[in-house]
Structure 1
Amino acid sequence: MPYENERSGYEPLRRIAENERVKELLSNYRVRQRPVQRTAPLPLIDVSTLPHNGWKPNWVLAIDGSFLPVAIKNGYPGAEAAYITVASVMLDAAKLRELDQERPVEPKVFRATQESEALDDLLPGRNVVYEEDGSAKVSFRRALFNLLTAKSMSEDGESLLDTYEVLLQHKPKPQKAQAEQGCPYEDCPVDGTYRPQNGTFLCMCKQKRALYSTDALRIHERMNPESGSNDRIYSEVMQVVERIWVIHILRTLEKQRWLTSLKRLAILIDGPLAVFGQPAWISQAISEELKRINGLVREATGEDILLLGIEKGGEFADHFEQIDQNENGVAGSFPKRTAALLTDDYIKQNIYFSDSTKLYGTGTYYGRKFFYKTRSGARIIATLPYLDDDHADWLRADVSQFPRLADAAMLLDELISSRYPNSLQPIVAAHAEASIPFNLGKKVLERLARDLTTETKK
C-alpha cells in the first residue's frame, strides 16, 4: 500500500514486463479467436412465430437496490456503516400505452404513471458496535436480523423475516455436515456447530449468546474487521433483500387472495435471477417457493408468473455485443425480435471458459438466461424463472424451458427506454429511486451519521 500522495515509479513495471516467469505464464494462457463456425449451437427464436394471445400487462413492478458506505466518527479509525435501499416502482403500463398515442406528453403527466416505495436501512460495518455487543460482526448480524424483521408489505401480514424463514426451511441439506454450520462467535469455547432455526435462539455453549436465523446466510463471515473494503457484504445483503422482497410480495398476494392480479402484472428485478456469494443457497429455496406459488397462480389464472431478471452489463452483455457485429465491427448482425436461448455448452465455450461437468448456474441461478434484440434494436440480457424442474436443464434450450417467452419479448419491446442504451423504463425508474448520489449523498449521510451518533452519546 502506498503512503498518501505517493506515486508509483516505472521500475516495477519494467521489472514485471521483462520477467521470464511472467512471459512464460502469459504465453501459456488461452486466447479465444473469433470462430468461423461455433461448435456449440446458439438456438435463435423468431418471437413473432411464437403463439401469443395478445396479452399486455396493466402494471409492471420493477425492483432495484443500492448501498453507500460512509465514515462514522466514533473515535475508532476506519469506522464505517452502509446505507442500503431497495426501491420498488409500480409502472402503470396501461396508462403509458394511452400516453404513447398522445405524444408529446408533459413530464409531470408521465411521472404520474409511476408510484414508488423504498426499504431503507443502515448496516454497521468495521469498528461500529452496538453498546450491548462485543464486536462489529455481532452488531452486523443483529442489524441484518432486525432489517428483515422491520419490513413488511402489509401491516397485518408476514414480515420480510417471516418470508426468509419460510425459505430457510428449503435450505439444501445434502449431508449432515452441510446442514450444520459453525458458531459465528470467534471466541466460542467449544467451537461448536448448530442447525439454523427460526427467530433468535441461544448458542449451546455455556455463554448462551444470541444466534439469529439470518446467520444461515453466512454473510457476516466475509466481514473485514481491520482494513479493506466491506462492500462485498453490503452487496450480498442488497441482493438477498431484493430477491426475498419479490417472494414476499407474491406470498402477500397469496395470503390476501389476490393471486389473480398477477394475470395483468409483470415483475422485473435488476440483475439475473440468481444469488451469488455466501448466501447462494437461498437461490434454490427461492426456486422451490416460486414453483409452489406458480402452481397456485396457474390454477387461478391459467398463466404462469411473468418474472424477469434484467442485466445491465457484464460478460454476457459484452458477448451479445460481439455477436451483433460483423467482422468489420459494424453492429446489426443479430436479427431484431429474435431471442437466443443459452445452453451450458455455449456459455462455457464462448463466455465463461470451463471444462467442468457441473452445469452453469448450479447452486446460484433460479432462472434461464437468454438474449433478446428488441423491435427497436436494443440488446437485452434477461432471465426467466425455473417454474418446472425441466427448466433447469441447461444441457438443452427449448422454448418450453423459458416460461412465457413470447409475453416477455412483447414486454421488452414495449418498455425500451431512450434515456440509456439497451435500457428499460421500469428498471431506469427503480434505479433512480434506489441510487444514492455518490458525492452529495456521501456528504449528507456522513453528516447524518455524525449528528445521530453525537446525540446518542449525550
Structure 2
Amino acid sequence: MSEGNFIGGQAYEPLRRLLSDSKIQAMQAEIRIKSSIKETNWSEETVHLDELDVSDIKSKVLIAIDGDYSKSIIENGYPGAEIGYITVSTVAILLNKVRELEKEEFIDPKKFRETEKTSSIDSLFVGCNVVLQGEQSATSSMRKILYKELYKCHIFKDSESLLDTYHTLLRERPKGGRAPKCPYDECEADYEFSEGEYLCKSCGGKLYSTDALRLHELLNNSGTSGEMYGQIKETFKKLQLIHILRTFEQHPKYFSLLREMVFFMEGPLAVFSTASWLARPIRKELERVNDKVRAEFGADLIILGIERTGNFVKHFMDIDTKKDGTDNNFPNQSAFLLTNSYIKEHIVYNENPHFVYLNDTSFGRKFFYKTKGGYRVVSSVATFSNYQSNTDTAFPAQFPRLSDVLVLLDKLVSSRYENSITPLAAAHAEAAIPLNLGKSVFEDIARQIKEQSNAS
C-alpha cells in the first residue's frame, strides 16, 4: 500500500482526487447556492399566543402513538437469515389524575406512573432467507404475516379489527394511476384489489387485501430489510390512529370522549413509500369523524405530529440563531405558520410553480412554535377541510384549535426531551422496551374517563 493511500498518514489519495476533480468543480459552479438567512423580525411574522382566543375545553386524556423496530439474524442454515421485531405503542395519559397530583406538595412517583396507561402491538416479520412452513418464499411469508397481524389487533374486545379499519381506507383508495403487479414473480397480471384473502384470477396464487400496501416490495432478498421494517412500523402507527378514532365513534357511550382527547404521533402527519396512497383515505376519514364530533360538540379534534429531527427542525434552529451565534432570535410563545411558498424557498428547494410540498402524502399542516420556556417544537396539526389544507395561505383559522394546541405544547415540552413532548417520550420508551405486549387497556381507559366526566 502506498503512503498516499494510508488513511493514518498523508492525505487519502482517492478522496483528494475526488475533491479536486474538474467535473466536481464544474458542477459546483452550476449548483445554486442559497443566500444566507436574511434578518427577520419574527415578532411581526409570527402569531403570539396572547393574540388567540383560548377555548374553555379541558382535555382529559392524551393519546401518544410511537413505534420502534429491531433486527435479528437467526440460524436456519441460510446466510443472512433475518427477522424484524416491530412494536407500536399507544400511551394514554389521564390529565385529570395528573392535575389532582399537581395539587400535592410531593408527588408520589408510583401514583404519577398510574396516570399512564400503555398498550403495545408487537409483531415479528420475516426478512431475507426466512420462509414459513407452507409458503414459497420470504416475500409470500411476509405478506401472510402482515395480513394476519392486522386481523388480530383491536382495542375493544367487541370492536372492529385493525384489518377492518384498513379495509375502510382501502375502499377509498385513489383510482387511476399505474396498478401494482401481482406479487408472484411468474405472474404479469395487474394486482386485483379486494378485501380479505382471495386468489389471483391469472396465476391462482393467494392474494391478501394488505398486498395493496406493497410493503412486501421493500423486502431485500439479499440483505437486511431495515427499510421495510421501518415502513411497516410507520404504516401501523397511522392505521392505529384511525382505528382508535373509529372505535370510540362506534361506541355511543364513549363517543363524547373524543372531544376531550388529544392525539400525538411521532413524526410528520404523512404517509410515505409504497403505502403513501393511504394519505388521501386517511384525510377523508379524519374529515368524516371530525364533522361528526364538531356537529355534536362544537369543536374540532386535536391531532398533532411532532418532528424530532430533519430539515424542518434544522431550519427552525437556524432562524432562532442570531448572527453572533446565540439563540432566542425567535420570540417565546409564538407560532410561525408555514405556507407552501415558504417551504419551497427556505426548506425544500423547488422552483416548479405547480409543486406543493407533500400534497398527496400528508394530512396535516406544519408550524413552528417556541414555548413559554423557550423550547422549539416542529409540529403538524391534522386538517379537516380543503380550506384548512390549502397551503397557499397560513391563517390561524386553518390550524384547528391552534390556541388549545399551543397551550398544551407549553405544558408538555421540557428540556428532558429535546424537540419532543412528554407523552411521546413515554410512548417511545414503551415501544423500545414494551411492558404491555398485546395488552388492551382502552376499555379500562374509556371507563375511567367516563366516570371522571360524570363526576365533574
Cα 1:319/1:42, change in 2 over 3 Å:
farther
**Is the Cα contact below 8 Å between 2:63 and 2:264 reproduced in 1?**
yes
Quick one: distance in 2 between partners of 1:66 and 1:171? Answer: 27
- Show the counterpart of 1:451: none
**Is the Cα contact below 8 Å between 1:259 and 1:300 reproduced in 2?**
no
**Is the Cα contact below 8 Å between 2:182 and 2:192 reproduced in 1?**
no
One-letter identity of the residue aligned with 2:136: G
Cα 1:182/1:341, change in 2 over 3 Å:
same
Q: Given the alignment of the two structures, is residue 333 of structure 1 paired with residue 329 of structure 2, yes or no?
A: yes
| CA drift at 1:286 | 0.3
Q: Given the alignment of the two structures, is residue 398 of structure 1 paired with residue 395 of structure 2, yes or no?
A: yes
TM-score scaled by length of structure 2: 0.89
**Is the Cα contact below 8 Å between 2:67 and 2:86 reproduced in 1?**
yes
- Show the counterpart of 1:132: 134
Give 2:249's match in structure 1, choosing from 248, 254, 258: 254
- Show the counterpart of 2:381: 384
SS at match of 2:268: coil
Pairwise mapping of residues 441-452 of structure 1 onto structure 2 (< 5 A)? none
One-letter identity of the residue aligned with 2:262: A
**Is the Cα contact below 8 Å between 2:306 and 2:420 reproduced in 1?**
no
**Is the Cα contact below 8 Å between 1:67 and 1:436 reproduced in 2?**
no
SS at match of 1:417: coil
Cα 1:326/1:201, change in 2 over 3 Å:
same
- Show the counterpart of 1:353: 349
- Show the counterpart of 2:111: 109
Give 2:192's match in structure 1, choosing from 195, 209, 227: 195
Pairwise mapping of residues 9-408 of structure 1 onto structure 2 (< 5 A)? 10-36=12-38, 43-173=45-175, 175=176, 177-178=177-178, 180-188=179-187, 191-205=188-202, 207-227=203-223, 229-257=224-252, 258-356=254-352, 357-408=354-405
| CA drift at 1:58 | 1.2
Quick one: distance in 1 between partners of 2:53 and 2:399? Answer: 13
| CA drift at 1:361 | 1.3
SS at match of 1:117: strand
- Show the counterpart of 1:3: none
One-letter identity of the residue aligned with 2:72: V
RMSD (Å), alpha carbons: 2.0
| CA drift at 1:107 | 2.2
**Is the Cα contact below 8 Å between 2:303 and 2:381 reproduced in 1?**
yes
**Is the Cα contact below 8 Å between 1:172 and 1:281 reproduced in 2?**
yes
| CA drift at 1:21 | 1.1
Quick one: distance in 1 between partners of 2:208 and 2:320? Answer: 49
One-letter identity of the residue aligned with 1:56: K
1:73-104, CA deviations, whole angstroms, 9 ceiling, x for partnerless residues?
Answer: 11110110100000011111122233333354
One-letter identity of the residue aligned with 1:66: D
Identity of aligned pairs, percent? 39
1:102-152, CA deviations, whole angstroms, 9 ceiling, x for partnerless residues?
Answer: 354232222121111100010111111112111111111111111101101
One-letter identity of the residue aligned with 2:184: Y
Quick one: distance in 2 between partners of 1:340 and 1:217? Answer: 35
One-letter identity of the residue aligned with 2:83: A
| CA drift at 1:221 | 1.4
| CA drift at 1:168 | 0.4
**Is the Cα contact below 8 Å between 1:66 and 1:436 reproduced in 2?**
no
| CA drift at 1:43 | 4.5
Cα 1:278/1:163, change in 2 over 3 Å:
same
Structure 1 range deviating more: 121-130 or 350-359 = 350-359
Quick one: distance in 2 between partners of 1:94 and 1:395? Answer: 39
Structure 1 range deviating more: 61-70 or 356-365 = 356-365
- Show the counterpart of 2:442: none
Quick one: distance in 2 between partners of 1:37 and 1:327? Answer: 9
SS at match of 2:387: helix
One-letter identity of the residue aligned with 2:428: H
| CA drift at 1:155 | 1.5
| CA drift at 1:302 | 1.2
**Is the Cα contact below 8 Å between 2:55 and 2:403 reproduced in 1?**
no
SS at match of 1:194: coil
**Is the Cα contact below 8 Å between 1:43 and 1:397 reproduced in 2?**
no
**Is the Cα contact below 8 Å between 1:66 and 1:86 reproduced in 2?**
yes
Quick one: distance in 1 between partners of 2:390 and 2:156? Answer: 36
Count of residue correspondences: 424
One-letter identity of the residue aligned with 1:303: A
- Show the counterpart of 2:437: none
1:357-377, CA deviations, whole angstroms, 9 ceiling, x for partnerless residues?
Answer: 121111110110111111111
Quick one: distance in 1 between partners of 2:250 and 2:99? Answer: 31
One-letter identity of the residue aligned with 1:128: V
SS at match of 1:361: coil
